[in-house]
Amino acid sequence: MASAAIGGKLSSALLPGSNHNSCLVRVVPARPLAFRRRLPARLLLASSASSVETTLMETIVAGKEVSGGGGGDWDNILACPICYRPLSLISDGLLTVDSASRASLECSCCRKTYYGKETHVELIAASGAKTYVNPMPLATEFFRLPLISFIYERGWRQNFVFGGFPGAEKEFELLKNYVKPVLGGGNIVDASCGSGLFSRLFAKSGLFSLVVALDYSENMLKQCYEFVNQESDFPKEKLLLVRADIARLPFLTGSIDALHAGAAIHCWPSPSSAVAEISRVLKPGGVFVGTTYILDGPFNFIPFLGAIRQNVSEISGAYSFISEGELEDICQACGLEGFTCVRNRQFVMFSATKAKPL
């Protein structure tokens, strides 16, 4: 009851363009880039670990289309997380949330097949490795625990209201303002979707042609699938669950209309590698919307906050933001422009857009 009342006030207060005085709304206009160069026909695809050069034509024409029930402009977005070339669906039927467990997708370049697992398609570079176990920082491993996945939407996420998070429904309302240009047919990736609270809202809204619910935690994805199956008339043909690392996204370059990352950037091992990947997969004009905490306001009085943050970050693998400027900085450094954000106490929703080629 209490949180609904707080959330009700926030919804009108936080909306960009609202004149509500009690809310801190900061809109940072797009700045022209100091240095721009016309891209040649070849695109340089950057990632955390390496760079892969491929041609735009190869990216578009190679491979059989990966089809889905959405039937719109969302097919052919999946790519090999090793070489970023298209994947071919080699199993029978369409790729949907229900058929994902039986799916096989092949990369003709790497000669590697990626398989579905129980509830999702496994698109991790190391998938198929027999003895190697991919080491991930604590902040990533923590969410792989079955208990955390189970309690996430059963109380854990609701507690975010104390940090100023308005709650999933109201956050979705806010998000719509940022993704307006792609509503009514664009595809959306819910990156680090957790148990899929937003992915499910996105799919049910009918505003997107395809929703990809992506997370590194197989248990979060299992939980998402369970919630989907509990709902009657869920538009399953719109949703696909994918296990992937945010710093190695299994999507074609320039194929995604919108990418949402709720309460996630502070959990990523390297926010800048992740934002670089997000920038790579967004279409020109595509939108990145994220939410996180900013440790400013009363936190500014903590002595040595920067040094403490550094130590915590090294141990946990999580990165706490202490100013909005840091978020803007990462976005700009990774080729995203028009940074804008709304605040409510420690909560921030920020957005930036993939620059259009000159």
Ligand X SMILES: C[S@@+](CC[C@H](N)C(=O)[O-])C[C@H]1O[C@@H](n2cnc3c(N)ncnc32)[C@H](O)[C@@H]1O
DSSP 8-state code for residue 53: E
Cα-only R_g, the chain = 20
Choices 117-125, 178-186, 210-218, 228-236; region in contact with ligand X by CB under 6 A? 210-218
3-state secondary structure of 235: coil
Which ranges of 31-122 would DSSP assign to H, the alpha helix? Answer: 56-61
Give residues 89-148 in contact with ligand X (rule: CB under 6 A). Answer: 140, 143
CA nearest to 356, candidates 290, 282, 289, 288? 282
Choices 90-98, 228-236, 261-269, 277-285; region in contact with ligand X by CB under 6 A? 261-269
**Residue from 69, 250, 262, 338 in contact with ligand X (CB under 6 A):** 262
**Residue from 267, 278, 287, 289 in contact with ligand X (CB under 6 A):** 267
Give me the numbers of helices (H) and strands (E) for the chain, helices first please: 10, 14
**Residue from 193, 210, 213, 224 in contact with ligand X (CB under 6 A):** 193
Residue 245 near residue 169 (C-beta atoms within 8 A)? no
Give residues 173-192 in contact with ligand X (rule: CB under 6 A). Answer: 192
Phi, psi of 97 (to 5 degrees): -60, -30
Residue 216 binding ligand X, by CB under 6 A: yes
Helix (H) or strand (E) holding 10: helix 2-14
Which is closer to ligand X, CB of 220 or CB of 342?
220
CB 120 to ligand X: min, Å: 12
Q: Tell me the per-residue interface mask from 221 to 260 with ligand X, x by CB under 6 A, - otherwise.
A: ------------------------xx--------------
CA nearest to 250, candidates 280, 283, 211, 287? 280
Residues forming contacts to ligand X in the complex (CB under 6 A) are 140, 143, 157, 192-194, 197-198, 215-217, 220, 245-246, 262-264, 267-269
